[in-house]
Structure 1
Amino acid sequence: MDKYKILLVEDDIKLADMICSFLAKNGLEVFHIADGLEALQRVEELKPQLIILDIMLPGLDGLSVCRKLRESFAGVIIMLTALSDDIDEVAGLEMGADGYLGKPIKPRVLLAHVRAHLRRNSLLENESLADETNNRVVTGDLTIDAASRKVFLKDEEIELTSAEFDLLWLLAESKGEIVDRDTLHLKIFRLEYDGMDRNIDIRISRLRKKLGDDSKHPELIKTIRGKGYILASM
């Protein structure tokens, strides 16, 4: 079986060499590009399953690269940044990134996230979330079909990323019941929730926006303060 291809877009050569070496030792085929524009030009040629994308890049910044990639790239995008500004985290995820990790990054943590994303996208396992459940959930005007991995709102298909669908389906499996952040984080990333990671919260925000759910007074995906989230039963 071919190795899974990872594209690392990072202009810090020392960091890039360390990441490439570590991921390669763990069975992944890694390509490194240090320029945002070049990365865009070579994605079709390299056909990676997952892209690790720094925000601060020469040529074209990572946020712009992510936005342009999402016009045609359906794989996983994990963003890296040395910045601690929440705006950059939100912006990256709003533009279609599947995950967000701050620097300095520990190679084992990055590898864990890479494996979790690949596994969830059925690249490390021969079964998918849809195959395991083969089910459909309907609540109000919303229909979530696990077999086709499609979502419809009032019979209009809603375009979700793979990561967004998986999060929505986890809530759908427990429709009308609270699903805590620990459970969501563990099932999606195969990592314990550390109390600081905001990836789940920001994905919920993206889902609400795409589903037309009022972010201030949501009726479909509700926040249960101090506990988690619930997909309302309508």
Structure 2
Amino acid sequence: MIPDPVPSSGNAAPRILVVDDDPGLREVLVEYLGQHGFETHGAASTTEMDQHLEDAPPDLVVLDLMMPGEDGLSACRRLIARGGPPVVMLSAMGEETDRIVGLELGADDYLPKPCNPRELLARIRAVLRRRSGSEGSGAPPSEPVLVFEGRTLNLLRRELTRPDGTVTLLSAGEFALLKAFADAPRRVLSRDQLLERARGADTEVFDRAMDVQISRLRKKLADADGQDPIRTLRGEGYMFDATVERRTERPA
């Protein structure tokens, strides 16, 4: 059963504005989100976005990065500066730099295009829940993290913080794989078990390139000596050789 979306006020359905110059994608997202309980509208440009903001301010904006005229980063900057609604950014480029800049500007989340509508739906719900919690308490809500060997994996932001404080952004596939390992520390996991535990929107990626995913993840986990907690057990599978602690932390 699909859970109800987080209401914006009273029993009103949360209002979502999808800003994207691609009419096909915009219509798909508007229709999909509308089918899952949101009042959803589309805008082909930031000019149309501004009009919607004046007429009926949305509870959340899904904002494309690359658009003719004013780009998504500039629009995001304006929205944050004026205390506007939370923003989930989309980008066909999928570059880490774009994601970092978007998040530093104040975007609440970021997804590469083409995005899975179901994953976007989950991200939107998570952002609305976080915002609802922070407004009710007057303080940023706590975020769930996994801590191991001085590293911290933020389960909402999909960020890996190293012992020196450096933040490493993970792809959806890398995040799902690392969480699968961290959920079963010091247990031998076969390839099939990893696939099952990491199953989701990126299952096909894992099916096609498990070794590549693990190799990339190992590089992001490696310490100054090149050591990482993922162990290969020939003929058996893999083991995450670390003690994992679950915590909640408030964002800085």
For normalisation by structure 1, the TM-score amounts to 0.58
Is residue 59 of structure 2 the alignment partner of residue 59 of structure 1? no
How many Å apart are 1:73 and its aligned residue? 3.2
Cα deviation, residue 43, structure 1: 1.3
Structure 1 ranges of 4+ moved more than 3 A = 177-180, 182-186, 224-231
The answer as to 2:37 corresponding to 1:27 is: yes
Partner Cα separation in structure 2 for residue 35 and residue 6 of structure 1? 15
> Of 135, 138, 158, which residue of structure 2 is paired with 1:148?
138
Q: 1:34–1:58: 8 Å Cα contact kept in structure 2?
A: no
Q: Runs of 5+ in structure 2 lacking a partner?
A: 1-10, 159-171, 177-221, 229-241
8 Å contact 2:143–2:154 — kept in the other structure?
Answer: no
Which residue in the other structure is 1:136 paired with? none
Q: Out of 153, 175, 189, which is 1:181 matched to?
A: 153
SS of the counterpart of 1:22?
Answer: helix
Q: What residue is the counterpart of 1:134 in the other structure? A: none
Identity of aligned residues (%): 34
* Aligned mates of 1:178, 1:184 — CA distance in 2: 19
In structure 2, the residue corresponding to 1:52 is in which secondary structure?
A: strand
Q: Distance in 2 between matches of 1:182 and 1:62?
A: 25
> Is residue 76 from structure 1 mapped to residue 86 from structure 2 by the alignment?
yes
The counterpart of 2:50, out of the listed 40, 50, 55, is: 40
Superposition CA RMSD, Å: 3.5
* Structure with bigger gyration radius: 2
C-alpha distance after superposition, 1:107-137 (max 9, x if no partner)? 1111111111112222xxxxx3686xxxxxx
Are the equivalent residues in 2 in contact too, given 1:37–1:59 (CA < 8 A)?
no
Q: Deviations over 1:173-215 (max 9, x none)?
A: 99xx9784165559xxxxxx74248xxxxxxxxxxxxxxxxxx
The one-letter amino acid of 1:93's match is L
Instruction: Name which of 143, 155, 174 aligns with 1:195.
Output: 174
- Give the CA deviation at 1:20: 0.6
Aligned counterpart, 1:209 = none
Any residues of structure 2 matched to 1:80-119 within 5 Å, and which?
A: 80-119=90-129
> How far, CA to CA, are the matches of 2:150 and 2:57 in structure 1?
38
Kindly indicate whether the alpha-carbon contact (under 8 Å) linking 2:103 and 2:110 is maintained by their aligned counterparts in 1.
yes
One of 4, 17, 38 as aligned partner of 2:27 = 17
Partners in 2 of 1:8 and 1:16 — Cα distance? 7
Match of 1:6, SS state, is: strand
Contact kept? 1:53, 1:78, Cα under 8 Å: yes
